[in-house]
Chain A
Amino acid sequence: MITLQQITKTYRTSHGTHVVLNKLSAEFPERRNVGIIGRNGAGKSTLMRLISGAELPDSGAVVRRGRVSWPVGFSGGFSGSLTGAENTRFVARIYGMPVDRVLTFAAEFSELGEYFDMPVKTYSSGMRARLAFALSMAVDFDVYLVDEITAVGDSQFQKKCRLAFDERRDRSTLIIVSHDMSTIRNYCDCCAVLRQGRLQFCDTIDEAQCLYES
């Protein structure tokens, strides 16, 4: 579904150029949920934005087949001054989905209740995550990019997410980044370790854990 070809990404800071990803090549296996584990600052979120196409690499190419989601997390994508419903309408429109159907779905799935019609800036981070998750579920993606989001929300909501993904397992796959091994164990079939700008795929999650902790 997704192939990365010789991707390099650098950021310029006041201390000079910082290389985040260095000639990274990878092919994501089809029909498997992939976890990517790495320390804080290893470039996980950058990698997600590159895979989604929101940011462009300095050099190299990302090849996508199928509909790939935006990086579903709890930071970007919402305007705080707009309500959950208004943010939902916007996402429905840019993905060309029927607005009413998406609204109904998102209101129900996110379980935000009356908060759905309140500005997003009044939300807790768990509530934001729930809205982001509900929105991504309302659009049918072939690949879901999930950025650390599953760690938030209470256990009941986490269970709901699990179920939702299990349900669409034969239609869509997941790419999750996390620094937490248990999240990846929960959702993924295989795992890759991101460090020093390289991505190493492992056959089993145990193997990835060994590599990550070494």
Chain B
Amino acid sequence: MHSILVQIQVVYALVLRETRTRFGQNRLGYLWALLEPVLLIATFALLYRILGRSVPDRLPIVPFLTTGFLPYLLFRETSARAMHAVEANRGLLFYPQVRPLDLILARTVLEIATNVLAFALILVTYMLYVGNVDVADPLQILLGLGLAAGLGSTLGLVLCAWGVFSSAVERIHGPLIRPLFWFSALMYPTGQLPLRYRNLLTYNPIVHCVELTRAGYFSGYRANHVGLAYPFVWILALGFLGLLLERIARRRLVLS
């Protein structure tokens, strides 16, 4: 019990510290982190408008892209930040109660907070624009985002621990993650796809996070072919592997 309290204390201190080191001394730094996904989504929405394209089922474009991009970005950013968590904060491991896992946890918490805030920001802006917004199940949106963060965090843990043994790991992250942009249902609903392609895509756990988030936003969205069990199994498997690697890497980690 005591050690859990200490860990919460440590993670809380790390989150506060991380906001400082990452976003700098002024509050505009944090605003910029929030605006980044907003701008990305706005760009794509504009592109759709200019090209005169629309989403199947006549779904409104801004929420459609938001529910796709944000889980994906949360996964991508969390995995990248978690992968570098130890390397960037090696000096903090001097304090015995600060563990590598705390560093990863703190970065995950900060990513989730930023992402959820960006989601709310977009939603509120959109609401002011169109007048009324109907969200089917806000909790399910949080579930979709939570699963995406869980996948990012556990993948980051695996890569972070593995990175202690080989510096090549860092270089595989980009090539591993970047193609997922096209295969994560960001710009198309998988329910509309031919069964063959849909089955292939559902091997990607991010697709489940995205479609769950969408089903949480649009009532009646077709998402029977996805579920939380599949990404959850991924999280368990990656988490298990990550913790195992961390146990081995822990003794190899040189502080100075």
Chain A interface residues toward B at CB < 8 A:
11-12, 45, 49, 52-58, 68, 70-71, 75-79, 81-82, 86, 89-91, 93-96
The closest CB in chain A to the CB of B10 belongs to A94
The closest CB in chain B to the CB of A54 belongs to B96
- Contact present for B91 and A76 (CB under 8 Å): yes
A116 to B215, CA, bound (A): 52
A11 to B255, CA, bound (A): 11
- Contact present for B91 and A79 (CB under 8 Å): yes
- Contact present for A70 and B20 (CB under 8 Å): no
Residues of B close to A94: CB separation below 8 A: 9-10, 13, 95, 97-98
Contact code string B3-31 (vs A, CB < 8 Å = 1, else 0): 00010011011001100110000000000
Interface residues in B, total, Cβ within 8 A: 24
- Contact present for A76 and B10 (CB under 8 Å): no
Residues of B close to A95: CB separation below 8 A: 97
The closest CB in chain B to the CB of A57 belongs to B251
> Could you say which of A49, A82, A91, A93 contacts B20, with CB atoms under 8 Å apart?
A82
- Contact present for A77 and B17 (CB under 8 Å): no
- Tell whether A45 pairs with B256 under 8 Å between CB atoms, given A93-B9, A94-B95: yes
- Contact present for B21 and A79 (CB under 8 Å): yes
Top 6 A-B pairs, shortest CB-CB distance = A93-B13, A53-B96, A76-B94, A77-B94, A76-B91, A94-B13
Chain B contact residues, majority secondary structure:
helix
Residues of A close to B9: CB separation below 8 A: 93-94, 96
- Contact present for B94 and A90 (CB under 8 Å): no
B254 on the interface (CB 8 Å rule)? yes
A56 to B92, CA, bound (A): 15
Residues of A close to B20: CB separation below 8 A: 82, 86
A-B contacts, 7 listed (Cβ < 8 Å)? A54-B94, A76-B255, A77-B92, A79-B17, A79-B21, A91-B95, A93-B9
Residues of B close to A77: CB separation below 8 A: 91-92, 94-95
- Tell whether A75 pairs with B256 under 8 Å between CB atoms, given A53-B96, A94-B9, A94-B13: yes
> Could you say which of B16, B250, B251, B255 contacts A93, with CB atoms under 8 Å apart?
B16
Contact code string B82-95 (vs A, CB < 8 Å = 1, else 0): 00000000011111
B178 on the interface (CB 8 Å rule)? no
- Contact present for A86 and B94 (CB under 8 Å): no
Contact code string B78-117 (vs A, CB < 8 Å = 1, else 0): 0000000000000111111110000000000000000000
The closest CB in chain B to the CB of A52 belongs to B96
Number of A-B contacts (CB under 8 A): 64
A91 to B9, CA, bound (A): 11
- Contact present for A90 and B13 (CB under 8 Å): yes
Residues of A close to B16: CB separation below 8 A: 89-90, 93
- Contact present for A96 and B94 (CB under 8 Å): no
Q: In the complex, how many angstroms separate the beta carbon of B251 from the nearest chain A beta carbon? A: 5
The closest CB in chain A to the CB of B95 belongs to A70
The closest CB in chain A to the CB of B92 belongs to A77
Residues of B close to A82: CB separation below 8 A: 17, 20-21
A205 to B12, CA, bound (A): 44
B252 on the interface (CB 8 Å rule)? yes
Q: In the complex, how many angstroms separate the beta carbon of B84 from the nearest chain A beta carbon? A: 14
Q: In the complex, how many angstroms separate the beta carbon of A73 from the nearest chain B beta carbon? A: 9
- Contact present for A12 and B252 (CB under 8 Å): yes
A53 to B93, CA, bound (A): 10
Residues of A close to B12: CB separation below 8 A: 93
- Contact present for B21 and A55 (CB under 8 Å): no
The closest CB in chain B to the CB of A96 belongs to B9
B42 on the interface (CB 8 Å rule)? no
Residues of A close to B252: CB separation below 8 A: 12
Residues of A close to B123: CB separation below 8 A: none
Most B Cβ at <10 Å: residue of A55, A57, A91: A55
A95 to B250, CA, bound (A): 22
- Contact present for B255 and A54 (CB under 8 Å): yes
Residues of A close to B253: CB separation below 8 A: 55
- Contact present for A70 and B94 (CB under 8 Å): yes
A76 to B90, CA, bound (A): 8
A53 to B97, CA, bound (A): 8
> Could you say which of A71, A76, A90 contacts B17, with CB atoms under 8 Å apart?
A90
Q: In the complex, how many angstroms separate the beta carbon of A123 from the nearest chain B beta carbon? A: 14
A11 to B256, CA, bound (A): 12
Residues of B close to A93: CB separation below 8 A: 9, 12-13, 16
Residues of B close to A79: CB separation below 8 A: 17, 21, 91-92
